[in-house]
Structure 1
Amino acid sequence: MGEFELISRYFAAAPCAQAGDGVALGIGDDCALLALAPGEQLAVSTDTLVSGVHFPAVPDPFLLGQRSLAVAVSDLAAMGAQPLGFTLALTLPDFSAQWLGRYAEGLQQMAQRCAIRLVGGDTTRGPLSLTLTVLGKVPGGQALTRGGARPGELFCVGGVLGEAAGALPFVLGERSERSAAPGVAGPLLAHYWAPQPQLALGQALRGRASAAIDISDGLLADAGHIAEASGVAVHIERSRLPLSDALVAFAGEQGAFDAALAGGDDYVLAFSLPAQHVQALQLAGQPVHVIGQVHAGHGVTLLSDDGRDITPAKRGYQHFRGPM
């Protein structure tokens, strides 16, 4: 099967590839055309996922389809953007109709969940890798960025932490799901393979949060990006970290804290927020968890219950350097 037949059969005909909702022209021409209203800005982000680095060397294609799009769309959530479209550059070692069909199904399911449309891309032969570029829109001047956090504000996250890192023994085949207690492996694996981009939260934070980021490399590492970009210090209270029962049951309390602080792949939002906005957001159903505060200074500090600095040496993951 040639490149164009492959695209036509598995991607161009998918419901998520049809024009509409800000997409004037999708797959089939040299470029896609997006329609932005006056006063809107275009948000663009690119993610590359490589076999054996970002996912197992022999992945379930349906689950990979979900995950590959979700982690890219999470960047739009972090900016407070509304999704418009995405492109997919797919490198395959060989052709498998069954594999491609299942991957496309997973991709379609996540695209529908995120209300985003496939508008183009490319296919080529080589080691399995996926590059997705996501595009969204945001009212001019209202995009959330990493810079802008101010001393005195609260530091918050949008949900439980560490579940994806807790799932790694199952993902990598080091533990069988049956070896865990009932109700433990499922939630952890769901968070790894089908993270839910926090689009509604990101849009609700526009005009309220002063800085935001999605947690991909670990809470301490990504909080550090906000601290550096904003020129402030972030103090996180260990006792306030939201942990799931499934993660604690599987990894133990210390293991759960380690996963939450430096495990990465959470894809929930971390953000600084003036205190007066917390209650209104929570009453509106937004998952706002206060875990610390912004101070004058620099860097990220983890505090014990009695206020001691217990910041671990390992803070997250960085490509080409490994764990930080």
Structure 2
Amino acid sequence: MGEFDLIRRYFTRPTPNAVLGVGDDCALLRLGPGMQMAISTDMLVADRHFFADVDPRTLGHKALAVNLSDLAACGARPLAFTLALSLPDANPDWLHAFSQGLLALADAHDCELVGGDTTRGPLNICITVFGEVPAGAAAGAAARAARPATQALLRGGAQAGDDLYVSGTLGDARLALEALQGRLALPDAVLASARQRLECPTPRVALGMALRGIASAAADISDGLLGDLGHILERSAVGATVDTHIAIELLAAYVDLTRARSLFDQQLLRETALRCVLGGGDDYELVFTAPVAQRAAVQGASIASATPLTRIGKIDAEPGLRLVDAQGATVLNTFASFDHFNP
């Protein structure tokens, strides 16, 4: 199978929302008046971001999901994406399943594949995604003076007194990774559920768009809650206090693990849960801030996007990140997030 046969067979489809899609030197996209384009690129590398035995269908899903999550963090509506794919060989069965997983998620978000590149080499998937977000300052309390003239959600903009939220559940992807790498034993049912979270994340696109004009700052959680929250704090020049007794409940597997007495004592379970929730990556949920006056609007965004939200702390004027327990006592922060070049 030749390179262009491969592209035609598995990745060429009609693109009604594009002026020009796959097959030329550039794709051409329509962009409505008063709109700005949001662009993000992510790369997945075999044996670094995924296991060799991963189902290619779920790999196709995740490859696009991690990019859509970046659009979600900006409050952008997906438009299109390009795919650069390095393959050891052109295996039709693998390509069929991979493309099915990729394109099913693309269809779910009306996001069109409009071009890319293929080459022979180690398995490597690189996607660039394009979205749109309204131009002009957002109305309401989230329109802070220091923000650019955009309705996009940005990392900068959090202010002292803001509430701190996360979407969905956290830590199960890291829990699965710990088990798959042999550092932890899990019941089969718990591992299967956690592995689904690792390999098939849900990008919170609808939530991101619903939070326009409500959230003061946002980021997606790809490398770990505390690490990605740290980007918000740095860009906003503020600090934060995180309630660990609330955060620990964000691990979906927590209740099941509490019952697995033969595997965990309570102290080990707490330490494991906090490590996964606070330092684990691959969650692709959103962490965001919003003024206290926007609590009802945040709840409305949660309902409109069918996405559960949890308030886990607050933004402080004093720089730095503080972790506290249920009594307000300080919890030592030893929960490092993922860094490719600082393992």
**TM-score normalized with structure 1 length:** 0.92
1:187-212 CA distances to partner (integer Å, 9 max, x unpaired)?
Answer: 31221111111011101111111100
1:231 maps to 2:240: no
AA in 2 matched with 1:255: T
Q: Counterpart of 1:318 in 2: which secondary structure?
A: coil
Aligned counterpart, 1:293: 314
1:116 maps to 2:111: yes
AA in 2 matched with 1:143: A
Report sequence identity in percent. Answer: 46
Q: How does 1:140-289 map to 2 (within 5 A)?
A: 140=135, 141-169=150-178, 171-172=180-181, 180=187, 182=189, 184-241=190-247, 242-250=249-257, 252-283=269-300, 285=303, 286-289=307-310
1:95 maps to 2:104: no
Output the aligned Cα RMSD.
Answer: 1.8
Q: How does 1:57-76 map to 2 (within 5 A)?
A: 57-76=52-71
1:229-280 CA distances to partner (integer Å, 9 max, x unpaired)?
Answer: 0000011110111424424424733312210000111100000111122223
Asked whether the equivalents of residues 153 and 272 of structure 1 are also in contact (C-alpha less than 8 Å), the reply is yes
Q: Distance in 1 between matches of 2:246 and 2:43?
A: 33
1:144-200 CA distances to partner (integer Å, 9 max, x unpaired)?
Answer: 110010001001101111011112145557779xx6154x23331221111111011
Asked whether the equivalents of residues 209 and 271 of structure 1 are also in contact (C-alpha less than 8 Å), the reply is yes
Q: Counterpart of 1:112 in 2: which secondary structure?
A: helix
Q: Distance in 2 between matches of 1:169 and 1:9?
A: 38
AA in 1 matched with 2:14: Q
Q: Distance in 2 between matches of 1:32 and 1:281?
A: 37
Q: Counterpart of 1:87 in 2: which secondary structure?
A: strand
Q: Counterpart of 1:259 in 2: which secondary structure?
A: helix
Aligned counterpart, 1:5: 5
Q: Distance in 1 between matches of 2:132 and 2:215?
A: 18
* Alignment CA distance shift 1:222-1:71 (3 Å): same
Q: How does 1:43-58 map to 2 (within 5 A)?
A: 43-58=38-53
| Structure 1 residue 297: Cα displacement | 2.1
Q: Distance in 2 between matches of 1:136 and 1:148?
A: 21
AA in 2 matched with 1:302: L
AA in 1 matched with 2:315: V
Asked whether the equivalents of residues 83 and 116 of structure 1 are also in contact (C-alpha less than 8 Å), the reply is yes
Q: Distance in 2 between matches of 1:173 and 1:103?
A: 27
Asked whether the equivalents of residues 35 and 134 of structure 2 are also in contact (C-alpha less than 8 Å), the reply is yes
Asked whether the equivalents of residues 237 and 304 of structure 1 are also in contact (C-alpha less than 8 Å), the reply is yes
Q: Distance in 1 between matches of 2:317 and 2:244?
A: 20
Aligned counterpart, 1:20: 16
Q: Distance in 1 between matches of 2:213 and 2:5?
A: 46
* Alignment CA distance shift 1:247-1:114 (3 Å): farther
* Alignment CA distance shift 1:220-1:81 (3 Å): same
* Alignment CA distance shift 1:173-1:103 (3 Å): farther
Q: Distance in 2 between matches of 1:180 and 1:236?
A: 30
AA in 2 matched with 1:18: P
**TM-score normalized with structure 2 length:** 0.87
Q: Which stretch shows the higher mean deviation, 230-239 or 246-255?
A: 246-255
